[in-house]
Amino acid sequence: MKTKLTTLFLSLTYTLFAQQAADTVVINVGDGSKIIFAIKDKKDLETMKKYNFQKLMDDMIYKLEVRDSSRLTKSSSDFLKKDTVNEVTVAKSDEPNIQTDETKTEDPKKYRGRRTRNSFNIDVGTNNYLSSGTFPSQDNSQFAVRPWGSWYIGLNSIYRTRMTNRFFLEWGYGVSWYNFKFQNTNTQVTKDNSGVQFVADARNYSFEKSKLTATYVNVSVVPVIDFGGNKRKPSFIGGHHSGGFRFGVGPYAGYLIDNYSKQVYVANNNKTRERHHDNFYLNNLRYGVRAQIGFNDIDFFFNYDVNPLFTTNKGPQLNAFSFGVTF
C-alpha cells in the first residue's frame, strides 16, 4: 500500500505543478483524506526534487498508525537523497508536521573539526626512583623502595581535543599520590638543618611497614597520534577513548600539597601506626614527561620526573617515576 500511495503522491504532485501555478496543491487520498502542500517560494521546487518521498511517506504513515500527531520523527534533512544532502540547505518550514533543521548529514569516518570531550580517569600503578640511573636497592640503601606495595594513584579530569583525524591533545588536571614503601621495615625518616635522613629505627619494636607519601596536584598536556582515527569507545567513567592503537608523549607539572612518613609496628602486643607530617625537604614542584600507549579502551602510562625528588644538597639525588594502567 505504501508503494502505491507514494507513486500516486508523486505523480499527482508533478501533474498539478505542471498544470497550475497555484501556491497550494491538494491531493485527495481515499474517501476523506487530503495531503496539502503550501508553496511560498517556487525556488523550493528544486529542493523538493531532491527529497526521498518514500522515506517521508513511511514516517508520516507510521505517525498516523500510532495516532501520534506530533512532528515527524526525523528532521527534514534526513529525507534528502544521499547524493544531494551536501548540496541543499534545508529551508525552515511553518508547517507543523516537518521539523526545521539546517544540520547536514556527516560521514562518521571523516574528520568533523575540532571537538573536545571530557572524562574522569584513574591511574593505578607502582612507583620508584632512580639514583644516578640505578635503583637504590642495588646499593642496599636504607631508602631503597619495595616495588610491591609502593602504589601510585592518580585521579584526573582529562579533556581530549581532536585537532585532525589522527591527532588529538589530551590535557587536564588532577591529584596524585606517591607511596614509597621502604624495603627495610625499620626505616625511619627524620630531618635536621643538614637535610633529610633515612636511618634504621633503634627502638626495640617489631616493625611491619615504613613508607614516605607525597601528594601533588598536577596539570598535563599530551599530544597523541591516534591510528584508530575517529573511532571511539566509551571510557571507564564518562568520555571516550579512541579505538585502535594510539601513542603520545607530553609534559606534566605538579605542586606538593602534603607529605608524611608512616611507620607500622607492634609494641607491647599493640599495633601502632605512627605518622609524621613534614616537608622532609621534598621539592615543592615536580615536572617531567608522560608517555601513553593504548589500544581500544586500554591505556598504559609511564611518568618520569625530570627534577629530583628532594631539594639539592638536602637529600639523596633521586628521580621518581611511576607506571601502570589508566582506567
Q: What is the pLDDT along the chain (327 residues), one digit of tens a residue?
A: 545 544 544 454 444 444 445 567 667 766 767 777 677 777 777 777 777 777 777 777 767 766 655 555 556 666 566 555 454 444 444 444 444 444 444 444 444 556 899 999 999 999 999 998 999 988 889 999 998 999 999 999 999 999 988 899 999 999 999 999 999 999 999 999 999 999 999 999 999 999 999 999 999 999 999 887 555 544 444 545 556 799 999 999 999 999 999 999 999 999 999 999 999 999 999 999 999 999 887 899 999 999 999 999 999 999 999 999 999
**What pTM did the predictor assign?**
0.64
Q: What pLDDT is recorded for position 67?
A: 60
Residue 89, domain member (yes or no):
no
Domain end: 25, 49, 79, which one?
79
Residue 122 amino acid letter: I
Residue 189, domain member (yes or no):
yes
Are residues 264 and 136 part of one domain? yes
Q: What pLDDT is recorded for position 103?
A: 43
Q: List the domain range (segments joined by +) for residue 202.
A: 120-326
Are residues 154 and 221 part of one domain? yes
Residues 6+ positions from 66 with CB-CB distance below 8 Å:
none
Residue 235, domain member (yes or no):
yes
Number of domains in the chain: 2
State the residue for C-alpha cell 637504590.
136
Are residues 157 and 32 part of one domain? no
Are residues 272 and 124 part of one domain? yes
Q: What pLDDT is recorded for position 77?
A: 65
Are residues 128 and 67 part of one domain? no
Are residues 141 and 68 part of one domain? no
Q: What pLDDT is recorded for position 261?
A: 98
Are residues 125 and 14 part of one domain? no
Residue 12, domain member (yes or no):
yes
Task: Give the C-alpha separation, 291 to 303, whole Å.
Answer: 7
Are residues 256 and 143 part of one domain? yes
Domain end: 54, 79, 104, which one?
79
Residues 6+ positions from 135 with CB-CB distance below 8 Å:
128, 144, 145
Contact call for residues 223 and 253 (beta carbons, < 8 A): no
Q: What pLDDT is recorded for position 283?
A: 98
Are residues 68 and 135 part of one domain? no
Give the angle subtended at the CA of 296 by the CAs of 109 and 124, to the nearest 5°: 145
Largest Cα–Cα separation, the chain: 109
From start to end of 165-244, where are the E strands? 167-181, 187-192, 195-200, 206-226, 232-234, 240-242
Q: What pLDDT is recorded for position 97?
A: 46
Residue 271, domain member (yes or no):
yes
> What CA–CA distances, in Å, run from 269 to 146, 203, 272?
26, 15, 10
Are residues 308 and 224 part of one domain? yes
Domain end: 50, 79, 108, which one?
79
Q: What pLDDT is recorded for position 74?
A: 58
Q: What pLDDT is recorded for position 129?
A: 97
